[in-house]
Amino acid sequence: MKPIAQIKAPINFEMELFEKKFLLSMSSKVALLNRITHYVVNRKGKQMRPMFVFLVAKMVSGGEVNDRTYRGASVIELIHTATLVHDDVVDDSNRRRGFFSINALWKNKIAVLVGDYLLSKGLLLSIDNNDFDLLKIISVAVREMSEGELLQIEKARKLDITEEIYYEIIRQKTATLIAACCSLGAASVKPESDHIERMRKFGEVIGMAFQIKDDLFDYGEEQIGKPTGIDIKEQKMTLPLIYTLNTVSEKDRRWLINSVKNHNKDKKRVKEVIQLVKDAGGLDYAVTKMKEFQQQAFNLIKDYPDSPYKESLELMMTYVIDRKK
């Protein structure tokens, strides 16, 4: 059984019902919108975010979910989909998960409007059902994601990112949404409980490990073959590079900054950057940090009673680090 199927096994019923509810939550009286949202739903990814919502809800409640859990999962998926649609416009990207992006098929203006529509549908789903506690969790996540993106853009211009700033960027950009999924799951079944903050932290540290793993792919993990160097081409400061800049000689540091700033399209130079990062121990350092975040996640759920849901969350933490793409 593939890892994702194994993780999903204890919540198969909930995930099937969720898909039906999610499609309904997107519906509109505008035919064009329905055509586009149908296209989006049929090209879904692994759906890790709703899986976090259901697994956490069932772990903290001893196997229970309710309508709020389904709404929480739908809201997070609506918001996440809206951000992806907007990201593709911002990045001028024509592909998403191997398919054409919405802006490639229907142009930027429509894509931005569809993203806005999905965002408002998500917010209204909470408001219409008086899920104000869930709405607050989601709204904080949206604010943080926007701040994280802008912080990264601001820092990329100067290439002066410290390790602390890097963690703040990935916490906001990536980890905050997974943190929201986990706190939503807990809040849906145990409102106003201590589980909510604990599960928020749990999701956050998993999100941090997840993003560091993504950073490592840029340097060519043995499983995926050749290094890609895409982050270097885009002048993204990732943990292996930040560590290297802080540990090499002043001469190598200047060469690295010059390479990333001015020669990031030169394939030979990018390869040399990747090699220097490897030689300086940048990858080993990033792997160590990634495993520290993973261990923090294990510690946060170790006191919960053993259950298929807890086991799936533990599998998810292993998958985040061992995945091949």
Residue 239 lies in a domain: no
Residue 41 lies in a domain: yes
Q: Give 157: exposed, middle or buried? Use CB within 10 Å, 0-12, 13-18, 19+.
A: exposed
Radius of gyration of the chain (CA): 20
Residue 242 domain flag? no
Q: Which of these, 96, 80, 76, lies nearest to 88 by C-alpha position?
A: 96
Classify residue 282: in a domain, yes or no: no
Mean pLDDT by 10 residues, the chain (325 residues): 88 91 82 78 77 96 93 89 77 66 75 85 90 92 90 77 90 93 96 94 95 86 55 80 91 89 83 90 94 95 95 92 78
Q: What angle do CA 63, 200, 189 make, to 5 degrees?
A: 30
Residue 215 domain-assigned? no
Residue 132 has a pLDDT of 93
Per-residue confidence (pLDDT) for residue 32, from 0 to 100: 81
User: Is residue 302 situated within a structural domain?
Assistant: no
Q: 105: domain CATH number?
A: 1.10.600.10
Q: Is residue 78 part of a domain?
A: yes
Residue 73 inside a domain? The answer is yes
What domain count does the chain have? 1
Domain encompassing residue 94: 3-194
